[in-house]
Amino acid sequence: MTALAQEIIKNFDQLPDTEQQKVALEILKRLVKSDFPPLEEEDLVLSAEEVFLSLEQQVVV
């Protein structure tokens, strides 16, 4: 991930939950219109693992 992308993620994480939801919805709308190749199964599994680990940390804290 580029430094710019990392900065965007950092700024996103600092937003209140309601703003994060709005930003995520806008990004998803744009992704639906994009012509990306299908994700590989391994990429999906790794992404899911990251999400679950992140959610687990939020529950523990």
pTM over 0.85: no
Query: Could you tell me the residue range of the domain that residue 43 belongs to?
Result: 3-60
| 20 in Cβ contact with 12 (< 8 Å) | yes
Of 5, 9, 4, nearest in space to 54 by CA: 9
Q: Hey, how many other C-beta atoms are within 10 angstroms of the C-beta on 13?
A: 8
Q: Which string of DSSP letters, residue by residue, matches 9-41?
A: HHHHHHS-HHHHHHHHHHHHHHHHHS-PPPPPH
Q: How many domains does the chain have?
A: 1
Q: What is the pLDDT of residue 2?
A: 94
Report the Cα–Cα distance between both ends of the chain, in Å, rounded. Answer: 27
Q: What is the pLDDT of residues 29-58, one digit of tens each?
A: 998 888 888 878 998 899 889 888 888 888
